[in-house]
Amino acid sequence: MKGIFVISLDFELFWGRFDRIDLNDAVQQRLLNTRSLIPEQLNLFKNADVHATWATVGMLFNKTEEQWKANQPYPLPSFTNLKRSAYNSFKTSLNHIDLSSFYFAPDLIHLITGTPGQEVGTHTYAHYYCLEDGGTNEQFRADLKAAKKIADESQLPLHSLVFPRNQYNKDHLMICAEEGITTVRTSPPVWYWKPTSNENILRKLFRFTDAYNLAATPKIYSKEKLAFQNKQLPVQLPASRLLRSWQPTYPLLNQIKLKRIMNEMTEAAISGGYYHLWWHPENFGDHPEECLNELKQIVQHYQFLNQKYQFMSCTMYEAAQKFV
């Protein structure tokens, strides 16, 4: 029985952090590095026949501020905390510097779609927070329709979705199904990854520790259990591991993190299980060379497992078809 290896990337540029950080010089450089690094990642995937889903914030499809305004859905989010709405956070320029490359990326989306084995999925249109106070199901549906509409204009059907900040409930899953989404990435089935709008230090600490604990239980899933799902909802593909970015202050932990991921990949390949690795391309922006080198090691390990155990690389949509 062949194991399945899924990679999904939450492709956001500044839309993923609009409510948490300012678009200062350091952040701008990180995003410029991200834009430069994506073609290299795509080339790496192409050469190794690695398939991946790029869960893309729909606003990135826009080319200009005018198009962005024209594509706003109705109704807009009515979040109690106005900072949580992307529509309140857009800046076209700062000190006369054009910032559009941090908000729009049709060129990179075109590059992704032109690379074999790559799927463009959705990360909602406006990085929509499903569990934010004040939001409604109607607003989430409008957001999904906006994401589908702008993708359709590029002849890109959307099959796969990743919820921003992993926020969702069963109502959102049903709306996804009604709007044509066939698979979603869900959180690992442990309490510190449970969907919530209220993060806390304890949850973050447990997630951090889990990434570097070689003795912890591997997050590998039985394909038989994944196949036994509610057929009225999208196929729910649980994440296994977040690929955390390389850190200069943690040389030993960087090695442990990679070893943990590769050990889990090996176990999934041998047991015929399902393993799902995910990350944000933007997280590679602070140390692009080192992060890309770590990714190369993971890809090389996948190639070894593919040759020895026929470990299969799949997009989210491809994996979901095996469980329908």
Do residues 207 and 192 lie in contact, with contact meaning Cβ atoms separated by under 8 Å? yes
Closest alpha carbon to 94 in 184, 22, 191? 22
DSSP code at position 134: T
**Alpha helices, DSSP H only, in the chain?**
25-48, 65-70, 106-113, 137-152, 170-178, 201-211, 223-227, 251-271, 288-309, 316-321
User: For the chain, how many residues are written?
Assistant: 324
Tokens of 111: 């590059």
First to last CA, the chain: 17
Is the per-residue pLDDT at 246 higher than 70? yes
Do residues 136 and 78 lie in contact, with contact meaning Cβ atoms separated by under 8 Å? yes
Q: 221 pLDDT band (50/70/90 cuts)?
A: very high
Q: What is the pLDDT of residue 231?
A: 85
Q: What is the pLDDT of residue 214?
A: 58
Q: 130 pLDDT band (50/70/90 cuts)?
A: very high
Other Cβ atoms closer than 10 A to 265: 25
Is the per-residue pLDDT at 91 higher than 80? no
Whole-number Å distance between alpha carbons of 238 and 4: 13
Whole-number Å distance between alpha carbons of 148 and 170: 21
Do residues 53 and 121 lie in contact, with contact meaning Cβ atoms separated by under 8 Å? yes
Q: 323 pLDDT band (50/70/90 cuts)?
A: confident
DSSP code at position 120: E
3-class DSSP state for residue 162? strand
Q: What is the pLDDT of residue 250?
A: 86
Closest alpha carbon to 183 in 322, 8, 58, 317? 317
Give 277's Cβ-side CA count (13 Å radius). 26
Q: What is the pLDDT of residue 230?
A: 84
Superfamily of domain 4-321: Glycoside hydrolase/deacetylase (3.20.20.370)
Do residues 160 and 198 lie in contact, with contact meaning Cβ atoms separated by under 8 Å? no
As a whole number, mean pLDDT of residues 192-221 equals 66
Residue type, 72: Q
Whole-number Å distance between alpha carbons of 160 and 109: 15
Do residues 155 and 120 lie in contact, with contact meaning Cβ atoms separated by under 8 Å? no
Residue 284: CB partners within 8 Å, gap ≥ 6? 33, 34, 37, 41, 245, 291, 292, 295
Choose the weakest-confidence range: 97-101, 137-141, 289-293, 314-318. 97-101
Q: What is the pLDDT of residues 251-298, one digit of tens each?
A: 999 999 999 999 999 999 999 999 999 999 999 999 999 999 999 999
Q: What is the pLDDT of residue 193?
A: 59
Peptide bond before residue 75 is cis, with ω within 30 degrees of 0: yes
Choose the weakest-confidence range: 147-156, 225-234, 303-312. 225-234
Query: Distance between alpha carbon 18 and the CA centroid of its chain, in Å?
Result: 16
Tokens of 271: 């047991």
Tokens of 163: 């919820």
3-class DSSP state for residue 20? coil
Q: 223 pLDDT band (50/70/90 cuts)?
A: confident
Burial of 126 (0-12, 13-18, 19+ CB in 10 A): buried
Burial of 225 (0-12, 13-18, 19+ CB in 10 A): exposed
Q: What is the pLDDT of residues 97-125, one digit of tens each?
A: 688 999 999 999 999 999 999 999 999 99
